[in-house]
Amino acid sequence: MVVSIFLLWEIAIKQEWIKVYIYGQPSGVWRELLKSLQDGSLLKHTSVTAYESILGFIIGGALGSAIGLLLWLSPTLAKVSRPVMVALNGVPKIALAPLIIVWFGVGIESKIAIAAIICFIVAVITAYSGTQEIDLDLIRLMRSLGATRWQTFTKVVTPGSVPWLISGFRLNLLRWLHLVLSLGLFLAFD
């Protein structure tokens, strides 16, 4: 099935039914792939993309998880920021590209920032959701024993939120893989 689609695509280009500058040509992509494999540029571009995206994944996931957990300490701030985070999660991240380029330039920093932003909001939302699922009886028990809010946070809330943090990292991992594949394909044919 896939081979027939590529064959039909190639025929449509050769017969000039569709424009090559709009749709590309499967044989041209294949030639470029072989050329970039031979001269080593594919490996070079792939390693740079992997570095950028892994670093962005780590920064966005760690920072987002920390902020999501810390929102438990301020319920008012959490209530105010939750609708903003949900709205920002719905914004296509490519729409932020012009701002990111102005702030970080066109170098490696902007690509790391995009990867971090993609992971950040999901990490914040899942980490905060995890803090809201902590058993209230445990929190009441800590208060009855005279624990401060910070002690309750470090001894009950943070450890109890670990499954949610892992879930957030798993969600971000899928987004990260998508980013790696899309950026890798883009950079391979620079």
pLDDT digits over 125-147, tens only? Answer: 999 999 999 988 999 999 999 99
Task: Give the percent of the chain with pLDDT over 70.
Answer: 93
DSSP, collapsed to helix, strand or coil, labels residue 4 as helix
Paired tokens of 139: 């929190």
Helices in 71-135 by DSSP H: which ranges? 75-90, 97-104, 108-132
The structural domains of the chain, with segments of one domain joined by +, span 1-39, 40-188
d(CA 166, CA 6): 40
Query: Is residue 189 over pLDDT 50?
Result: no
pLDDT at 188: 45
For 138, list phi and psi in degrees, rounded to 5: -65, -40
CA separation for the pair 40, 93 (Å, rounded)? 31
pLDDT, average across residues 170-187: 68
Q: How confident is the model at residue 187 (pLDDT cuts 50, 70, 90)?
A: very low
Structure token pair of residue 103: 């702030």
Stretch 64-92: mean pLDDT: 89
Q: Each residue of 31-65: pLDDT tens digit? A: 888 898 899 888 888 888 888 888 988 999 999 99
Q: What is the pLDDT of residue 140?
A: 92
Q: Give the position of tokens 């998880």.
A: 65
Instruction: Evaluate if residue 89 carries a pLDDT over 90.
Output: no
**40-188 CATH:** 1.10.3720.10
Q: Please give the helix or strand (H or E) that residue 88 lies within, else none.
A: helix 75-90
Specify the pLDDT at position 153: 92
Identity of the residue numbered 107: G
